[in-house]
Amino acid sequence: EYAVVDENWLKTKREELHLPDYILRLLYNRGLYENEDINRFLANDLKGFRNPFGFERMNEAIDKILKIRANNETLYIYGDYDVAGISSVSILLKTFNFLGINSIFYIPKRIEEGYGINTQAIDTIKKMGADLIITVDCGITSVDEIEYAKTIDMDVNVTDHHECKEILPDAIGIINPKQHECH
């Protein structure tokens, strides 16, 4: 639920920062109240970003992708059927294309396949000749499905932002900032 914006704050920030109300309301709803925090958030530089190698098993995830590229193999990007999933698929597809990595995407049919990765999709992707599946916006709770993928010699990297369960899938790499050991 969105916070109600303090109208005095809105008026002050509108005058100080010369930003439209809809941007100010978004910033306020994200807990950014001070000019310094707002300017840092809106800055177009990388100073505020954390080192991505703080993610657990980031090296393993990248090593697998580099092996795919070196061997001219193919990876599948498996995204959920929502804005986060489709956007993530698009970004990775363009990035891998730019890097010369053979990549194809798979977005499940929501009604027929439901949320997240499923064994039928894993079978289809394997038959299409993929050597790696990278999930985006799903996979962190797919313990059984990723275990199944291993039984048919399919590797999986999980990238997800959803809450982790007590047991994580046994994937090559798991990139999720909500992991307990993630820095």
Residue 2's pLDDT band, with cuts at 50, 70 and 90, is low
Q: Which amino acid is at 12?
A: T
Predicted TM-score (pTM) of the model is: 0.78
Report the distance separating Cα 129 and Cα 63, nearest Å: 20
Q: Which two tokens stand for residue 59?
A: 């090296």
Position 164 pLDDT exceeds 60: yes
Q: What is the Cα–Cα distance from 13 to 40, expressed in whole angstroms?
A: 15
Q: Residue 132: pLDDT above 60?
A: yes
Mean pLDDT of 58-63: 93
pLDDT average, residue stretch 47-63: 85
Cα–Cα distance, 42 to 36 (Å, whole number): 10
Would you state the pLDDT for residue 93? 97
The dihedral sign for the CA sequence 90, 177, 51, 44: positive
Which tokens sit at 6? Answer: 């303090």
Q: At 44, give phi and psi (nearest 5°).
A: -100, 60
Amino acid at 90: S
Q: Say whether pLDDT at 1 is over 60.
A: no
User: What pLDDT score does 99 carry?
Assistant: 95
